[in-house]
Structures are given as C-alpha cells and as structure tokens.
C-alpha cells in the first residue's frame, strides 16, 4: 500500500500536457498517424481493452529510447493518446472516445487501412 501511495503522489506531481477534446485538430491527428512507428503504437493500444493502457516499455519499437519518447510525445500532443505517470513509467492509452466523438470512423478507417497495407506488403 505504501508503494501505491507513493506512485499516486508522484503522478499528481508530474502531469503531462494534453489537448482538451475541443483542442484536438484533424491535421495534427493525421500527422501523428503518418509515421509507421506511431501507427504501430496506436495499433498496439487499440488492441487493448477499452480504457486500458500500456507502459512505453511494453510496446517494443526498434528505435532508441529517445526516439520512442519523441513518438509518444507527438501522439500525446496531437490528442491521439493520453500519458500518465505511474511511478517513473508512463502509461499510455488511446483517446478513442475523444477521437470517435470528434471524427467518427476516422480511427477505425486508418487502422483498417494499416491492416490492409500490412497484409499486402507482408
């Protein structure tokens, strides 16, 4: 229990900037999705249950830690994912309800297009 309390107070002390739903811009979302690594992150998070998150370290990208951090930040700043601290790790979750409310069908069509492309290119 002690550990959990520590994690909670750390989380409240270190919060990361996120756009409000109304601040999310289509152009920024499309830009965030226009990179294969970031698409891989979104695909991973989309396959988790509704509202579930994953630590950055759970999503293995074949790039350096700083590049990984950069990609997660682009996704967060565009409003595609949320990131919260759990201790020293960041937990990531897809902002599906925000995206679906703003741009119905967009996220699913991008994920479907990504699946179709990976099927074609092997």
Given candidates 11, 28, 89, 93, which one binds its own copies under the rule CB under 8 A? 28
Residue 77 binds its own copies (CB under 8 A): no
Among 6, 12, 97, 117, binds its own copies (CB under 8 A): 117
The strand pair at 54-55 and 81-86 is best described as: unpaired
- Angle of CA points 61, 65, 69, to nearest 5°: 85
CB of 22 within 8 A of CB of 101?
Answer: no
- Judged by CB under 8 A, the stretch of 23-31, 48-56, 66-74, 80-88 that binds its own copies is 23-31
Closest alpha carbon to 30 in 38, 22, 19:
38
Contact criterion met (CB below 8 Å) for 92 and 55:
yes
**Closest CB to its own copies among residues 88, 121:** 121
Q: Which residues contact its own copies by CB under 8 A? A: 22, 25-28, 30-31, 33-36, 39, 102-106, 108-110, 112-114, 116-117, 120
């Amino acid at each position: 229990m002690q550990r959990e309390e520590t994690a909670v107070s750390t989380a409240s002390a270190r919060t990361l900037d996120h756009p409000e739903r109304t601040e999310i811009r289509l152009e920024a979302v499309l830009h965030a999705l226009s990179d294969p690594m970031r698409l891989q992150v979104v695909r991973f998070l989309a396959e988790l249950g509704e509202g579930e998150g994953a630590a950055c370290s759970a999503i293995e990208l074949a790039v350096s830690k700083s590049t990984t951090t950069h990609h997660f930040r682009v996704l967060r700043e565009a409003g595609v994912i949320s990131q919260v601290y759990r201790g020293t790790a960041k937990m990531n979750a897809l902002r599906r309800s925000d995206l679906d409310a703003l741009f119905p069908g967009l996220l699913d069509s991008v994920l479907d297009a990504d699946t179709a492309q990976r099927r074609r290119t092997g």
